[in-house]
Structure 1
Amino acid sequence: MSETGSIEMNQYLTFKLDEEVFGLAIGKVREVLDFTTVTRVPQTPAYMRGVINLRGSVVPVIDLNLKFGMKQTEKTVNTCIIIAEIEMDGEITVLGALADSVQEVVELEPDQIEPAPKIGTKLNTAFIKGMGKREEVFIILLDIDKVFSYEELAMVQGGEPQPEKED
């Protein structure tokens, strides 16, 4: 692996949801936007706040607070939309994730990252890559590719799950 690749793998964009700090691998982040008008789409889950127009493309916007069972993100001067790329079944999906505020890009060494906590068998923590620790603050490192199921991604893309293609 090249030196640049290993450095990039350890960099995370940190952001806040409620009072918790989360991190997203910088390689998954396309850009960060100020909060803008989101067009609501009927009959979608509550955590799907709607869609935005991003330079001519329709991008679904997800409220991670609601997805994680917290209270709905309120619009403030710090509220922003993190445009991220999610990979599922070899396909790249672009979506926006609402965050209460974006903090900074941090570099975490492997010894600063603990494995994801095992919290019983009923709670799915597969979307947590690990727990970063920086200056006495825990950073919940997300595996954005595992936050949504295939069915949820198909729904936010505006379609039904497609059957697998035959070769």
Structure 2
Amino acid sequence: MADQNAELQFVTFGLGQEVFALPVGVVREILDHEEAFKIPHGPNFLLGLRDVRGQGVPIIDLRLKLGMDASVRTQNTRILVLDIPLDERVLSLGLVADRVFEVVAFRAEQLDKAPDIGARWKSNYIAGVVRRDGGFVVILDLPQLFSEPTGISEATPFALSNVA
């Protein structure tokens, strides 16, 4: 059983008015936003490819993947380049964030499960929720979000392994 006092490090970022977090260990780097090379017939959330240090990295509009409105580029828009462990491989991709805030530590005891809304809904992509500054931070479970259709968006399921 995990130590409830253990501190876990996360990168926090915003999508609209909402705050999300990812474990520091999956974040390779944070880049300024640049237009991606478009890939024909990709799902709506796949913006295209971007060259990151000699590697073609798929760029994902996380807002669309989560069923939100599409990202609108501003001076604060960033790309979080991630290395996500999936089974026997590592998936490298970039996520568009409206803004990146900070690296923060949360204690394991602060993490609550996804809320129960009294009905079935796909919440397995939520690793936890933390109360902070009068609001909430949603910690994403990226392997869940990208290994199977989430049921959030009606977009056609897409295997990112076909992109890289």
Q: How does 1:13-52 map onto structure 2 within 5 Å? A: 13-52=11-50
Picking from 58, 61, 64, the partner of 2:62 is 64
Q: Quick check: 1:15–1:102 contact (8 Å CA) kept in 2? A: yes
Matched, 1:158 2:143: no
Determine which structure has the larger helix proportion and give its number.
1
Q: Secondary structure at the match of 2:116?
A: coil
Q: Does the 8 A contact of 2:50 with 2:56 survive in 1?
A: yes
Please list every run of 5 or more consecutive structure 1 residues that lacks an aligned counterpart in the other structure: 1-5, 160-167
Distance 1:108 1:129, change over 3 A: same
Matched, 1:74 2:79: no
What RMSD in Å do the two structures reach over aligned CA positions?
2.0
State the Cα distance separating 1:133 from its structure 2 match: 1.6
Identify the match of residue 92 of structure 1 among 71, 87, 90.
90
The one-letter amino acid paired with 1:25 is P
Deviations 1:33-81 (A, max 9, x none): 0001211100000001111001111000000000011110011000010
CA distance in 2, matches of 1:78, 1:71: 17
In the alignment, is the contact (CA less than 8 A) between 1:81 and 1:99 conserved in 2?
A: yes
Residue equivalent to 2:134: 136
SS in 1 for 2:19: strand
Compute the TM-score of the two structures, normalised by the length of structure 2: 0.85
- SS of 2:146's equivalent in the other structure is coil
Shift of 1:86: 1.4
Q: Work out whether residues 131 and 138 of structure 1, in 8 Å CA contact, stay in contact via their aligned partners in 2.
A: yes
What is the number of equivalent residue pairs in this alignment?
A: 153
CA deviation string 1:127-154 (max 9, x = no partner):
1011012222210000111111358563
Q: Which has the higher contact order (CA 8 A, sep 6+)?
A: 2
Structure 2, gaps ≥5 residues long: 1-5, 150-156
Structure 1 ranges of 4+ moved more than 6 A: none
TM-score (norm 1): 0.84
* Aligned sequence identity (%): 37
